[in-house]
Amino acid sequence: MTKARTVQRGRGFGIDIGGSGIKGAPVDLRAGSFAADRVRIPTPTPSTPEAVARVVGQIVRTFRRSSGRRPIGVTFPAVIQHGVARTAANVDKAWIGVDVDAVFTEELRRPVHVVNDADAAGLAEARYGAARGVSGIVIVCTLGTGIGTALLLDGRLVPNTELGHLEIDGMDAEVRAAESARERDDLSWEEWAKHVQRYFTVLEDLFWPDLFVVGGGVSKKHEKFLPLLHLRTPIVPASLRNGAGIVGAALLAAEIGDAHA
């Protein structure tokens, strides 16, 4: 878990690793925004640990002057336990069982802290975005190819909640409620919203959250489906959009660095 507190240092650096692209930028930790334009490089094929580490190193070296020697935060599309990847989504299966922290620390020659990509986005929304200042339980859900989730209690992250894989009506929730399901089955917004409604109803019955935050690319079109949902829990679109992963990773790395200083 991370402490919900203010980071005194003004700058951080975040890397967001995805199946198609690897992005990085220095982050203004006071504002929760990029301190310079991000750099994006396509994810190598195959996306093995060695190949991905080289790209991460290339991005950090692009910002050599602004990145300094501060810890680097990295999002990764996997369940991360104590720095080790336990799964691998949209990256090479060779990552499973690998100490991701160690791979990137060796490449960059500085402290690196790796976090699940949805967890990073959730932390950023809790500190700077749509969930800022909300006490109690907040669930951030990214509706995309699958469903990524972040669970926060009073702004503190409970890591690796794979709530997109809840079994609902006999199948993984994301099979019906992810945005990819709407595209795959050519559903109208109204038809898809029924599946999204079912998913969030199960979540609120299990967790009784104080707020849902919906992220992912589809959040840009939130007015097409959020008003169709009827929940007892307030539900709002994410505000940091595609920058949330980089910002959240940089914040996490800075807070861990401060705690160990």
Question: Which amino acid does the sequence have at 239?
Answer: S
- Residues 59-77 have pLDDT tens digits of 999 998 765 678 999 999 9
Q: How confident is the model at residue 3 (pLDDT cuts 50, 70, 90)?
A: very low
- Residues 11-64 have pLDDT tens digits of 999 999 998 999 999 999 999 999 999 999 999 999 999 999 999 999 999 998
Domains (range + CATH), the chain: 11-119+243-260 (3.30.420.40), 133-239 (3.30.420.40)
Q: What's the chain's Rg over C-alpha atoms?
A: 18
pLDDT over 50 at 6, yes or no: no
pLDDT of residue 206: 98
CA 114 to chain centre: 11
| Proportion of the chain above pLDDT 90, given as a percent | 87
- Residues 101-124 have pLDDT tens digits of 999 999 999 999 999 999 999 999
Reading the block at residue 64, the tokens are 């050599």
Q: In this structure, are residues 43 and 29 in contact, taking their beta carbons and an 8 Å threshold?
A: no
Nearest to 244 by CA among 32, 77, 42, 59: 32
